[in-house]
Chain A
Amino acid sequence: MLVPISFALLALLALGGALMLLFRRDPVDGVLSLVVTMLALAGIYLQLADPVVAALQVIVYAGAIMVLFLFVTMFVRRAEERGPLGWDRPRFALASIVAACLLGLLVQAIGAFGGNTPTHPGPPAEIAAIAHSLFGEFLYPFELVSALLLVAMVGVVVLGRRGEESS
């Protein structure tokens, strides 16, 4: 009885956060809405009896990535300082196309479950199992992704430094 109600609440929170992100003008508000979404998702994972993923969701997304987002947006000028948001037609069209594609992908992915979407607790994920898949089965993709992130990071530092020198 409790489970569907709490699921509904968490889902509403997640959706609400996502919508707020779209419709709030102030970037800081947007970041905070996204944090709400991330935390609600963590709650849903917890409900699926997967505390490890829930904890990782909080640590990585809410605790690290979104903090960096917030860190950056804090320095950007506030919404009221900037001019009104213009409706840039080409950009709007492009965004619509991308959004439509994403929606299609999502629908397909959900459809692949064939209606067997798990809403009830399954067996809890073992930390050892996660470790085995990360450092065993998916070792190369995992390491490649970290290398990619490292390259991106170094690139950003280099670009940032270059701007500093020229000014």
Chain B
Amino acid sequence: MTGEFVIAIVKTIVAVSTLMTLAALLTWAERKQSAVMQDRIGANRAAILGFRAIGLFHIIADAIKMMTKEDFVPPFANRFIHSLAPFLAIFPAIVAFAAIPMGDTVTLFGHTVEMRLAPMNIGFLFIFAMASVTVYAIVLGGWSSNNRFAMLGAMRAAGQMISYELALGLAVVGSVMVYGTLDLMEIARAQTGLFAGFLPNWGIIYQPLGFLLLITASIAETKRAPFDIPEAESEIIGCFLEYSGMKFGMFFMAEFVTTVVVAGLVSTLYFGGYQVPYLMADGFHLPFGLFLVTPAALVPWLQFGAFWIKVVFFCWLLLTIRWTLPRFRYDQLMHLGWKILLPLALFNVAATGAWILAAA
């Protein structure tokens, strides 16, 4: 009992610190990557003893700045709710990660450890439950600020997130049908082996449409460009307009944590999760009969690394999309969500069902 308790705590510390580190790195990556895309130098001014470390110290500088800034609550704002909202933003974002498997089981000091924070058979539902709670953060944050622009942002956010939750939920139903489970660990396990002899047996092969729908809807859920309508700083200045200091920082971090969670979900569902292509329990089975022996103890760690590499790749992809596309208008966003994504998701469910029936 105590052993498991310790393992759970260690797992939590490792996973949450990795998650937060990655989210913090994303704040840097966002600036640096956009700078590279836009022919700029990017963040490079923060230096310690003359070392600039390609701008990495900006993460620390940002954190210090956020924590030391004035914490402003506008007059007539609802103080309690105004302070509560940032917590509601970041808490579900972090907790949602608990359902995502980072690797298969390993044996450590005689204990079998599953590389996932919370063993649960309702993986998806848990993530969606958490995603649906984040709506409160932005709606309450906008409303309690007592500012018309923030209020407009909150209205937009509420409409957008409720609409896209539907498409998001229906997009993964296809995967649920294919694998017959809600458990993300089971889904990751099922993606081992090869498809047609040479392709990794990843979910994208079975659910290409589901992948496109999920990634679109989840960008909308993270409220990043081109779906950054609640924030749209050039139109309504945004729902966080009356936030400063660390409260703003928490909204800001929540955005990046959600990005990591989305990247993790997409890689788990459609890109094999922690699976390394051609890697079995005993080594690499490459096409054309090539075989590469790998120590059995190393395999789970290779898989752990592979998972994070995939996550980083999708984070990169999401950033690239963010810096390439202009912003939708609210009615166009609704049009896309209700009239395009939702019917497509329904079609995906029906087609998957038909395919499963035909195969059976």
Contacts and interface: CB of A to CB of B under 8 A. Distances in A.
Whether the complex brings A and B within 8 Å at their CB atoms is answered yes
B122 A55 contact: yes
B135 interface: yes
Contact of A51 (B121, B130, B132, B151): B121
A148 to B, nearest CB: 20
A129 to B, nearest CB: 13
Nearest to B154: A74
Interface string A69-81: 0110010000000
Interface residues of A, number: 21
B338 to A, nearest CB: 13
Contact of A64 (B120, B126, B162): B162
Interface in B294-324: none
Contacts of A52: 122, 125
B16 interface: no
Interface of A: 28, 32, 35, 42, 51-52, 54-56, 58-59, 62-64, 67-68, 70-71, 74, 124, 127
Contacts of A63: 128-129, 131-133, 135, 165
Contacts of B81: 28, 32
B139 A67 contact: yes
Given A28-B143, A74-B143, A127-B182, A51 B122 contact: yes
B128 A51 contact: no
Contacts of A124: 121
Given A59-B125, A59-B132, 17 more contacts: A35-B136, A51-B121, A51-B122, A51-B125, A55-B128, A56-B125, A58-B132, A58-B133, A63-B128, A67-B135, A67-B136, A68-B162, A70-B136, A70-B139, A74-B143, A74-B151, A127-B182
A7 to B, nearest CB: 20
A59 B162 CA distance: 11
Given A28-B143, A74-B139, A74-B143, A67 B162 contact: yes
Nearest to A26: B78
B126 A51 contact: yes
B118 to A, nearest CB: 10
Contact of A55 (B125, B136, B155): B125
A55 B162 contact: no
Contacts of A35: 136
A67 B158 CA distance: 7
Contacts of A127: 121-122, 182
Contacts of B165: 63-64
Contacts of A58: 129-130, 132-133
The 3 closest A-B pairs by CB, nearest first: A63-B132, A55-B125, A58-B129
A33 to B, nearest CB: 12
Nearest to A58: B129
22 contacts: A32-B81, A42-B129, A51-B120, A51-B125, A51-B126, A52-B122, A52-B125, A58-B129, A58-B130, A58-B133, A59-B128, A62-B129, A62-B133, A63-B129, A63-B131, A63-B133, A63-B165, A67-B135, A67-B139, A70-B139, A71-B158, A124-B121
